[in-house]
Amino acid sequence: MQKETNDNQKTKETIVRFEKVSFEWGVNKPILDEVSFTIRRGMKLTLMGQNGAGKSTIFGLIAGLSMPESGIINIVKGVSIATSQQVIPREQMDFTVREFFEKSFKDKVYDIDPKIDDVLEVVNLKGHTKVHDKKINTFSGGQQARLLLASALIQDPDLLLLDEPTNNLDKAGIAHLTNFLVNYKKTVLIISHDAEFLNAFTEGVLYLDVYTKKIEQYVGNYFNVVKDITARVEKENMKNAQLQKEIQAKKDQANVFAYKGGRLRLVAKRMREKAEELEEEIVDVRKEDKAIRPFIIPSQPDLIGEVLNISAFTTMKNGKIIKHKAHISLNKKGHLLLQGPNGIGKTTLLERLASGKADGEKVAEGIRIGYYRQDFSTLNFEDTVYQSLASAMIEGGEKLNEEHMRSVAAGFLITGEFIRTKIGDLSEGQKGLVAFARLVLQKPGLLILDEPTNHINFRHLPIIAEALDKYAGAMVLVSHVPEFIKQIRIDEILDLEK
């Protein structure tokens, strides 16, 4: 593991220090176990870890939204902190843009409109007429992602905490954000699963191990750190394998000598003691992030003829609604990719398809729709995971089969206490895995997917792509991740911009 040793880092003031910090959610749900790390002024760090490991919890502890069970969190006096969350809270969706930004400040800010204009320029979200009075829920998912970032930037903080800021952003939005962060002079701690994005500016990584509940601190760009972690795990595994051989040999010898009796029993005792000493030398190796199991989304049985027809659609440009004609027909196994920049109307079109309130789009009667929404609003946040999966199984035309349901859930790493946890208490990544498990149980005839890579651990993405590639029903997909799309069979493309 690389340590912070170069002269440049030594001269930078430490502005955040965790000293043996422990934290847990409720009884017997430990998240952090005596975690220690530092953040120096001007550094740009990535916070890595599996979905549900506790990355967002660390943000909450730094921001003072939560308090540790034990240990010390030392933040230099006067250091201002702002957080860009993953999603806009539901209770703020009816706010105007002005009200949303006012909520970012503890105290009232007078003449805030010019500040809003400046920060919208930074996140490349300009050109909207009367933008200050526009409601948040009228913006697309990608535009809301930019508003979240802007709500943190408008505070001009010393430490900027960014939680999955590229989610829902199109290619232009990610490029704009990357350029901003490369040139940003203050301190940044960022959670993201976008490796190329992170590698453009990352100077170090805080790695949170979901099993040991510890953080390891590395220095270097993102790709180099990932290589270091992989190499270290391989080295530790090799050392452990050698130690296990020695331990077993000592135990076998001890059994032989103990059986012979007499003075050899004393030798046997020494052999066992030596085996115990060797066991203590075994390195507590990080268990690499588990990937979900390969899965299939079964399609609705007996699909015949046309499933979906799009003869017309609308787009939004410069605040104006524009109508277009189209000639798209999807039958069984037909896969359609929707393309276009943030705010043009992709999610609006998907919502109309899913709701049946179509104008120029028609879903055949009796077709069961599986809808993966980018904000997970198809999930009832008050349901437990068990209740959510059980209802999906019934929607799929099956009687409740708990054994099968739990087997599907386990494939998506939904085990133990998570099955009885409320959807609203899960991390965004865990909500995504529940949403995929529901699709497996629903057996849809038409699969509608709006940015299905958002919040999902990069280890899961090839497995999800393979499942979508093999899906035998009709599918409509929106994604801004080219590497993900490349792995999926696409039969037709509808580019809303063209």
Which of the residue ranges 47-51, 102-106, 201-205, 316-320 has the most confident prediction, judged by mean pLDDT? Answer: 201-205
Task: Give the HSE-up count for residue 28: Cα atoms under 13 Å, Cβ half-sphere.
Answer: 3
Kindly list the strands in the beta sheet with 187-191, ordered across the sheet, starting from the edge strand earlier in the chain.
81-84, 159-163, 187-191, 44-48, 204-208, 215-219
CB of 31 within 8 A of CB of 43? no
Beta-strand relationship, 187-191 and 446-450: unpaired
Among 144-153, 327-336, 377-386, name the one with the lowest average pLDDT.
144-153
**Each residue of 80-103: pLDDT tens digit?**
999 887 788 888 889 999 999 998
CB of 195 within 8 A of CB of 223? yes
71 lies in the same domain as 206: yes
- For the cut 60, the answer to whether the pLDDT of residue 349 exceeds it is yes
Any residues with CB less than 8 A from the CB of 360 and at least 6 apart, and which? 310, 311, 312, 313, 326
Region 161-177: mean pLDDT is: 83
Give the pLDDT confidence score for residue 283 in this predicted structure: 56
Asked whether residue 232 is domain-assigned, the answer is: no
Any residues with CB less than 8 A from the CB of 179 and at least 6 apart, and which? none
- For the cut 60, the answer to whether the pLDDT of residue 316 exceeds it is yes
CB of 271 within 8 A of CB of 250? yes
Region 298-320: mean pLDDT is: 87
Any residues with CB less than 8 A from the CB of 278 and at least 6 apart, and which? 243, 246, 247, 250
Look up the CATH number of the domain holding residue 418: 3.40.50.300
Region 125-139: mean pLDDT is: 78
Asked whether residue 290 is domain-assigned, the answer is: no
204 lies in the same domain as 331: no
Any residues with CB less than 8 A from the CB of 60 and at least 6 apart, and which? 66
Q: pTM here?
A: 0.67
CB of 279 within 8 A of CB of 249? no
Among 153-157, 356-360, 400-404, 461-465, name the one with the lowest average pLDDT.
356-360
> What radius of gyration, in Å, describes the C-alpha atoms of the chain?
26
Give the pLDDT confidence score for residue 127 in this predicted structure: 61
55 lies in the same domain as 111: yes
Asked whether residue 294 is domain-assigned, the answer is: no
Give the pLDDT confidence score for residue 3 in this predicted structure: 42
**CA 328, 334, 339 angle in degrees (round to 5)?**
60
pLDDT tier at 432, thresholds 50, 70, 90: very high
Return d(Cα 181, Cα 161) in angstroms, integer.
12
Q: Which domain holds residue 331?
A: 306-495
pLDDT tier at 26, thresholds 50, 70, 90: low
Region 250-254: mean pLDDT is: 81
Give the pLDDT confidence score for residue 250 in this predicted structure: 81
Which has the higher per-residue pLDDT, 455 or 78? Answer: 78
Helix (H) or strand (E) holding 96: none
Region 139-168: mean pLDDT is: 87
Task: Give the HSE-up count for residue 314: Cα atoms under 13 Å, Cβ half-sphere.
Answer: 12
**Each residue of 202-250: pLDDT tens digit?**
999 998 887 788 898 999 888 888 788 777 777 777 877 787 888 888 8
- For the cut 90, the answer to whether the pLDDT of residue 351 exceeds it is no
For residue 58, the Cα-to-chain-centroid distance in whole angstroms is 15
CB of 350 within 8 A of CB of 496? no
pLDDT tier at 111, thresholds 50, 70, 90: confident
Asked whether residue 91 is domain-assigned, the answer is: yes
394 lies in the same domain as 453: yes
251 lies in the same domain as 329: no
Which has the higher per-residue pLDDT, 369 or 455? Answer: 369
The chain-wide mean pLDDT, for the chain, equals 85
Asked whether residue 2 is domain-assigned, the answer is: no
Give the pLDDT confidence score for residue 7 in this predicted structure: 44
59 lies in the same domain as 133: yes
Give the pLDDT confidence score for residue 9 in this predicted structure: 47
For residue 180, the Cα-to-chain-centroid distance in whole angstroms is 22
34 lies in the same domain as 103: yes
316 lies in the same domain as 364: yes
Which has the higher per-residue pLDDT, 10 or 164? Answer: 164
Return d(Cα 116, Cα 82) in angstroms, integer.
16
Region 109-124: mean pLDDT is: 85
313 lies in the same domain as 453: yes
Asked whether residue 362 is domain-assigned, the answer is: yes
Return d(Cα 441, Cα 17) in angstroms, integer.
45
Region 327-334: mean pLDDT is: 92
Region 352-366: mean pLDDT is: 80
Integer CA distances (angstroms), 287 to 209, 213, 236, 394, 410, in order: 8, 11, 11, 36, 18
172 lies in the same domain as 259: no
Among 186, 206, 226, where does a domain finish? 226
pLDDT tier at 18, thresholds 50, 70, 90: very high
Amino acid at 361: E
Which has the higher per-residue pLDDT, 110 or 449? Answer: 449
CB of 473 within 8 A of CB of 299? yes
138 lies in the same domain as 159: yes
300: DSSP letter: P
- For the cut 90, the answer to whether the pLDDT of residue 297 exceeds it is yes
Integer CA distances (angstroms), 297 to 129, 151, 353, in order: 43, 38, 20
460 lies in the same domain as 372: yes
- For the cut 80, the answer to whether the pLDDT of residue 398 exceeds it is yes
The residue to which tokens 């007078």 are assigned = 110
Give the pLDDT confidence score for residue 492 in this predicted structure: 94
Asked whether residue 292 is domain-assigned, the answer is: no
Give the pLDDT confidence score for residue 4 in this predicted structure: 43
Which has the higher per-residue pLDDT, 32 or 277? Answer: 32
Kindly list the strands in the beta sheet with 335-339, ordered across the sheet, starting from the edge strand earlier in the chain.
369-372, 446-450, 474-478, 335-339, 492-495
- For the cut 50, the answer to whether the pLDDT of residue 6 exceeds it is no
Based on the structure, what is the number of domains in the chain? 3
Among 9-13, 165-169, 344-348, name the one with the lowest average pLDDT.
9-13
Asked whether residue 104 is domain-assigned, the answer is: yes
Which has the higher per-residue pLDDT, 196 or 306? Answer: 306
In the three-class reduction of DSSP (H, G, I as helix; E, B as strand; rest coil), residue 220 is classed as coil
